[in-house]
Chain A
Amino acid sequence: MKRTDAFSTYHPIIGFLYFAFVILETAFFLHPVLLVISFASAMAYSIYLNGRRAVRFNLLMVLPLMLLAAVINPAFNHEGVTILGYIRDNPITLESILYGVAAAAMIGAVIIWFSCYNAVMTSDKFIYLFGRIIPSLSLILSMALRFIPAYKAQIVRIADAQRGIGRDISSGKLSARARSGLSILSVMVTWALESAIETADSMKARGYGLRGRTAYALYRFDGRDRLLLAFMVCGFALLLFAGGVRILSVQYFPAFSVNDTGFGVCLFYVVHAVICNIPLAADIREDFIWRSLRSKA
């Protein structure tokens, strides 16, 4: 079961900008503290969104991939000054191990953020956003999304009908199966064109092709969207500034060094943590509101 997600109800542009920024930021700052925060936040949000399915995905798919990344780097990368030992005359360095762990965390976090992106940015939202840039593209995508399931269903119907007259594509000799499979595909093309004629008539009858077509969408950019966007942009700007002046700098090779832990740096850690947890915060806030509404009732 999917939980209702408050962040998903914001305007698509918010979701898109948010994920674009968070994913790029995670990929480019290889700063250990930032990565840990990003990884933990992505994990928490994905579990909030997808529940048990997310736990399974993170453990079975993401974790092995991360382990692989963490092992591969020290095995092939021998830079760094702190040599811990040798395997077959190849030095294993502390720096390359650290770098491998950071890369693994980065990969894991990015994948998990993408899984959240998938859950939040549904196809309608994507179509809407790209429709704003290229209006005809949004219609084409919407039509494609309508046709693909229809084609699939028709292929199944044809295959069933052919079975009913003794031509089963799931049994018999391979050559015969291939032949009847191909003939089904070829008739599918005819069928698709045939039904497209009627679709084209229906489009013409409803004025497709007239000048000045508008694009309607269900989304409205309202007050709370503006508020969140302003908040997000401030956070992004701060982090970009931090990146620009190299406050949040990290160096893995030749020797590992990270920026000092001054008050300013900690402030940026907090900003980063806030940004990474915006969706979860929106959800928790909404959950809290609902609970208080119910207790009053």
Chain B
Amino acid sequence: MFRNYLITAWRNIIKNGIFSIINIFGLAIGLMSCILIMLFVQNETGFDTWLKDNDRIARMHTSYSIPGQEPFSTVRSAGSMMEAIRDYAKNEIDSGVRFIQWGTTVRQNGNAFSETISMVDGNFFDIFDLPFLHGSKESSFKKPMDLVITEDQAIKYFGKTDVVGETLTFCCFEGREIPLPITGVVKKLPDATHLGINMIVYLQPALFGENDGTLHTWTSLNVYTYFKMNPGISLEQLQERVTYWMDNESPLVDMLKDILGDTANDKSVSDLVQQRVMLVPDLHLHAKKHAGNMGDLTPMGDDNMINTFIVVAGLVLLIACINFMNLSTAKASKRAREVAMRKVLGASRTQVAIQFLGEAIALVMLSLLFALVAVEIALPFYNDVLGTNLKLNLFNDLNLLFSLVGIAVAVGIGAGLYPALYLSRFLPGHILKSSKGAESSSSTKLRTVLVVFQFSTSIVLVIATLVVYGQTVFSNSMDVGYQSDNKMVLNIDSAGDNLESLKLELLKLPEVNAVSFSSESPTQDWENNNNFKLLESIEEGVANQALLFNIHNMGYGFFEDYGVKPIAGRLFDEDYGSDKIVRIEEGNEDKVGRASAILNVTALKKFGFKNAEQAVGKTLETNTAGGIHHLTIVGVIPDIYFRSIKYGVRASVYTFSPGRFRVANISFSSNDIPSLITKVERVWKNSVPMQPINLQFLSEMMTAQYSDEMTMAQLFLVFSGLAIIIACLGLYGLSAFTVERRTKEIGIRKVMGADIIDIVRLLIWQFSKPVVIANLIAWPIAAYMMLTWLEAFPYRINAIWLIPICLGVGLLSLIIAWTTVGGNAARVARKNPINALKYE
């Protein structure tokens, strides 16, 4: 019997030609989309699950929400917290470890490489049980300054993995080069980890002073803190214990009272400072919720993007399934006789239903094969767009294999169940007696509903895509408030005392017009914040109260180079000689330093100034560079967007503190970029010997800011395009079928005098109706969704744009439907009607 089913199934696939191709092709595209998205989702959600005891390791994040100050969150925490909490919560915590990330330079055979080393407490390998290639966690991490590197680093520096006993020279600790002996090599970490570490050093606490702001602090957030919980302890229990300690036992109880005075009276510490814990496998996707936009050890994943993609994959597959359902029920009348005969010969309804369900599953399996081939072909491009390294290892990954087969069976059942029930319902007597088809009007209606659903879904997807794309383009092209053309950004972290000579040498290059220093270039933002107090009272302003502001440090010429003009007052100017913040030496803490500050418009408003002129000449008090400074506001500039405009602009104070400079902004005029780069590199090599150069183009940095959105927009474009293609395939199939079914009617109409054009119009209208309805359904849904999405952007495209987008997509969908149907309609309309009418 099975053989008989198989033969019937196969012959039907062959006989139905175009319909089978549509079904298989549509399902294959649907499955391909699904598999591609699944691979990505599997990768993103599987971060750090390979770590031993990953369900017992948690990281502690910090959030400040102090009244009158901007809330602030980070994945880091204060250096003193780990030991205090570990010793307090002995019942919950087995052990704890801190990471300090340290940017440094490795010198090797006359070359210099930038590296970030992770200084960790000695029990690091007890918590993160990384597999050793050479050495072991007992032998390799015995004393401070022991160095364990990853396999890939070993190969990079020595060309082999067995490098225990070799030495790497780092620069610089307290101004000295330090050679560190390598004591162990661990395997290269998998891609799916938030641990972006490859050089691990046993932390030497002596390197850090008593008040260094790193290890011995309750408020400076510079270390990553991990706890390993005792077996059987839940994250909630740990969280409860940490919060209890913060509120009742921690030094912050008294400190906050001191800082805030009366405002802290009826508040517990955890209202102001939260220490939140999160399990390691959740960090990649969910740390964002705790830490906002601050970075992590590796780039964070995006939970929303994952969910959106899962929905999109589901929809594409659903659209393909609907094709299958529609075409199967539409073709049902063709098979009515077969069903009737099987029943006459003794088949039960269940047997017939199972036969059809089996056919559906077989067809999906066939599609799955094509889909897998398509995935293999698409993967390199897909990886390229996503910046991932996904692979399809079906036979190494049985889970994946089984879930794919599972999906195929589920899709087969999902798509095949209705047709199976529908077809198996036919009553043999009825079918065999009448020469009519078994087509009922309810199944025609259901098909129309499903087509409406397919098109609504596709239209929503396309509108969403266009809005995402539009917003991305808008963000990219928005006036950021500064001139971004022809700018290079040179990192000067490692330049030391060579800044002035570097600047002079760079200016000697004919292509270089100007060089200015700053703490960050546009697109960079290290989230430095400081409290500022306006000393003079102003009407309706906020005076004598510390407010938190974003702080940037700029040297002479910075604003001029970027074409930023003051709207009041002046910019930093060497001629005044009074702008620079001078560090207050130890022992002179009672002295008040004097310097200048520039505000942006948002800061102006935050202080409550009525206009820019009013602010000029006023004084801000702040604690920086070793003590209290009074800063005279010398100028106000328009808001400029240092970060992606999706974060909006923050109230910023610009000061001139040379100790904080980290980049040189180079303005150039040259079309020969490669030669310019070579020249700048030569200057760097001469001025700052033995340090790697870190040079970027501002235009590239600006594009990178929006790369996430761009990626999302591109992928959306592809998947919604696929959805439309599948829906159109379905429409094509249905119209071919309808034309077939209405051949007689069309023949009669032609005999009655209908022209080809009348017939084509008739059919096109029949298929336009569902598309028009689909548009009317899709528009409000898409508009609501996208307006909600856009709300996350402080600067967004005007909502009015949705109208032309919706209308445009509507028109496009109609045109696509018309071209899809038109061919079929014209073909049949041209036929000689007598052929249709002669035989019944």
Tell me whether A and B are bound partners.
no
Interface residues, chain B, with chain A CB atoms under 8 Å away: none
